[in-house]
Chains A and B, each alone.
Chain A
Amino acid sequence: MISQIAIVLFDGFAFGMLLFLLSVGLSVTLGMMNFINLAHGAFGMFGGYVAVTAMRQLGLPFLAALPLAFIAMALLSVIVERTLFRRLYRAGELNQVLFTIGAVFVSAAVATFVFGTVQQVIILPSWLRGSVEIGDVRFGVYRAFIILVALIVTALLVFGLERTRLGAQVRAAVDNQRMAQGLGLDVERVFAITFALGSGLAGLGGALAVEIVGLSPSFGFQMLVYVLIVVSVGGLGSITGSFVGAALLGIGDVAGKYFWPEIGSFLIYLMLVAILLVRPLGLFGKR
């Protein structure tokens, strides 16, 4: 029993860390511009395709494919943000939701057109395969790798946000966009950079997720609900919130499916609704 709990906690935390990478960018950009970007998961999807294609066609090693997915998605997101999304910052939330859902549809169709509907597989280097046995519990090496990457990213994010000039600007813009603008801060520029970083992280998360959840054109839809839950439960604009929310959701999801397969997902949604009714701003949300 103890070993079962340990493995569920471990797998759940690893899944949660994937969700964290996929959703932290959305949380920060939502907190800053109140822009509900449901297409955030699509960056994850394309990130996955970039990594898979880079490894298969260009023969890049896995560790080189990951940063490539990050950079490619950051660049793509700058283009999309400058040309399309920025028109919608002042639009109502319904219009934002619909526009970005439309973007998810289009990106799924494009992915099908280019890559087909087949599930993509990624070939991991041998040192990431297999598992390590501690006591009588087998921990997957790849999941440990995901946790390591996510913790490094978290450390970088927290450091960047607390200690750098850009981080201070981001915090100011999240706390009070108007005031920040009034003090001469170029909020749009800060936002564009944050958006690019967040989308890049989603691309990285997507590349890492191929091995765990698979990759097909419906990835954007599959992950959409998870990402939204993380963001709304954690609270907008909060890295801590996203981290805790993602960890809770990952562990809850894996535990629910493991111990109560019949009603596992039911419990997840029940928790979502209950948390939001008690704290409409999420666990760590400020406004």
Chain B
Amino acid sequence: MQTPVSAPIEARDWLRRRSRWSPFEILFWLATLLPFIFFPTYLPLANQIAIAALFAISVDLILGYAGIVTLGHAMFFGLGAYFAGIISVHGWGEPISGLLMAGLFAGIIGYIISFLITRVQHLALIMVTLGLGFLTYELANALHWLTGGTDGLRGISTWPVFGQFRFDMWGYTAYGYALAVLFLCFLLSRRLVNSSFGLALRGIRENVKRMPAIGADHKSHLRLIYAISAAIAGLAGGLLAQTTNTVALDSLSFERSADVVVMLILGGTGRLYGAILGTFIFLVARDQLAGINPQYWYFGIGMLLMVVVLFMPKGILGFLARIVARAK
């Protein structure tokens, strides 16, 4: 009798297996529809979560998959928000084209910035992203005539989506619109990380020196994913501008850059659902705790971060995955 030899699996088969949809994922996305039915009063919060989750996914692409640590990604979020807001103020309030332009704009800036990012590593990388974030913030503050400075951008009016769905005060349209964009970008990111390009990125994350040695052009990979990530961050910012009809300087702030990394780490890096789960936990906890006392929130999030780093280095989702794997 012949023992079955485990044939070396083709890389393509492996990738195809990875990209198959599991029932959990389908359930998860169905669950995102629940707020429409059961929690209509929380729709604005759900909208915030969808936007922040999209932003967290954009950071996951570069931080979780390509290993670029950033503390300044709000710059692209803010650029997208201001772009979408400013074209609306100047008379073009059509949401979908406006959003696409905002994403494109952030992506182009991201591609330009990526040439700087790929030059530095470690602490210098963190500091350059941090510095660029502050730079954009100060620039937006100084360009008062364009951005409204500290007063925020006023006079945004977003037209109905497809000319049909007006942005209502309860947030039905806003959440539906943000959720749709989140889902489409998620599909794109999912396809991306389960492709050979995604594998190359993980290779760079694991060992920057070995990738060029096996002939991969790691810098151009990094530039591409950085631009894509910037574009998605820009889309998230554009969504915020369009669904709330305001853009304030805080969309560019360091807090936003830091918060998104915290959300991502809570959920778990390098797995797109980690970004969404972390955002959900972070924002719901903040909504509940900050209502009682903002200081509780700071203490709680600080402790949570320290515990997660010490005991769950792969985030909550990574921790759960390990428990499940052990139970099997």
Q: Please give the residue numbers on chain A whose beta carbons come within 8 Å of chain B beta carbons, in ascending order.
A: 30, 36, 84, 87-88, 91, 93-95, 97-99, 101-110, 112-113, 225, 228-229, 231-232, 236, 262-263, 265-266, 269-270, 272-273, 276-277, 280-282
Q: Please give the residue numbers on chain B whose beta carbons come within 8 Å of chain A beta carbons, in ascending order.
A: 63, 69, 71, 116, 119-124, 126-128, 130-132, 134-135, 138-139, 142, 254, 258, 261-262, 265, 295-296, 298-299, 301-306, 308-310, 313
Report the bound CA distance from A232 to B121 in whole Å. 12
Contact B309 A102 (CB under 8 A): yes
Binding site of A, secondary structure by majority: helix, strand, loop or mixed?
A: helix
Contact B135 A270 (CB under 8 A): yes
Report the bound CA distance from A101 to B301 in whole Å. 10
Contact B261 A106 (CB under 8 A): no
Partner of A109 from B69, B135, B295 at Cβ < 8 Å? B295
Contact A113 B295 (CB under 8 A): yes
**Known A232-B127, A265-B134: A87·B69 in contact at CB below 8 Å:** no
Contact A93 B299 (CB under 8 A): no
Contact A281 B127 (CB under 8 A): no
- The smallest beta-carbon distance between A177 and chain B, in angstroms, is 15
Contact A103 B135 (CB under 8 A): no
Contact A112 B295 (CB under 8 A): yes
**Known A91-B313, A93-B69, A281-B124: A102·B132 in contact at CB below 8 Å:** no
Contact A269 B131 (CB under 8 A): yes
Q: What are the residues of chain B within 8 A of A276 when measuring CB–CB? A: 120, 124, 127-128, 131
- The smallest beta-carbon distance between A112 and chain B, in angstroms, is 5
Q: What are the residues of chain A within 8 A of B301 when measuring CB–CB? A: 102, 105
**Known A93-B122, A266-B135, A276-B120: A105·B298 in contact at CB below 8 Å:** yes
Report the bound CA distance from A206 to B44 in whole Å. 42
From B116, B120, B298, B304, name the one whose CB has the most chain A CB atoms within 10 angstroms.
Answer: B298
Report the bound CA distance from A101 to B304 in whole Å. 11
- The smallest beta-carbon distance between A246 and chain B, in angstroms, is 15
Q: What are the residues of chain A within 8 A of B71 when measuring CB–CB? A: 97
Q: What are the residues of chain B within 8 A of A266 when measuring CB–CB? A: 135, 138-139, 142
Q: What are the nearest 10 A-B pairs in CB distance?
A: A105-B302, A102-B305, A109-B299, A106-B302, A266-B138, A280-B124, A102-B306, A272-B131, A99-B309, A273-B131
- The smallest beta-carbon distance between B139 and chain A, in angstroms, is 6
Report the bound CA distance from A199 to B261 in whole Å. 27
Q: Who on chain A is nearest to B254 by CB?
A: A225
Q: What are the residues of chain B within 8 A of A98 when measuring CB–CB? A: 261-262, 265, 305, 308-309
14 residue pairs of the A-B complex, CB under 8 angstroms, read A88-B309, A95-B309, A98-B308, A99-B305, A105-B298, A105-B299, A106-B302, A109-B298, A109-B302, A232-B124, A265-B134, A273-B116, A277-B120, A280-B124
Q: Who on chain A is nearest to B136 by CB?
A: A269
Q: Who on chain A is nearest to B258 by CB?
A: A101
Report the bound CA distance from A26 to B302 in whole Å. 21
Q: What are the residues of chain B within 8 A of A231 when measuring CB–CB? A: 123
- The smallest beta-carbon distance between B175 and chain A, in angstroms, is 29
**Known A276-B131, A280-B120: A263·B302 in contact at CB below 8 Å:** no
Partner of A273 from B132, B298, B302 at Cβ < 8 Å? B132
Contact B306 A225 (CB under 8 A): no
Report the bound CA distance from A272 to B134 in whole Å. 10
- The smallest beta-carbon distance between A150 and chain B, in angstroms, is 23
Report the bound CA distance from A112 to B138 in whole Å. 29
Report the bound CA distance from A266 to B133 in whole Å. 11
Contact B135 A101 (CB under 8 A): no
* 10 extra A-B contacts, CB within 8 A, seeds A105-B298, A106-B299: A91-B313, A99-B309, A102-B302, A102-B303, A106-B298, A225-B130, A228-B130, A276-B128, A281-B124, A282-B124
**Known A225-B130, A225-B134, A266-B139: A236·B313 in contact at CB below 8 Å:** no
Contact A236 B123 (CB under 8 A): yes
Contact B123 A232 (CB under 8 A): yes
Q: What are the residues of chain B within 8 A of A270 when measuring CB–CB? A: 135
Q: Who on chain A is nearest to B262 by CB?
A: A98
Q: What are the residues of chain A within 8 A of B116 when measuring CB–CB? A: 273, 277
Q: What are the residues of chain B within 8 A of A106 when measuring CB–CB? A: 298-299, 302-303, 306
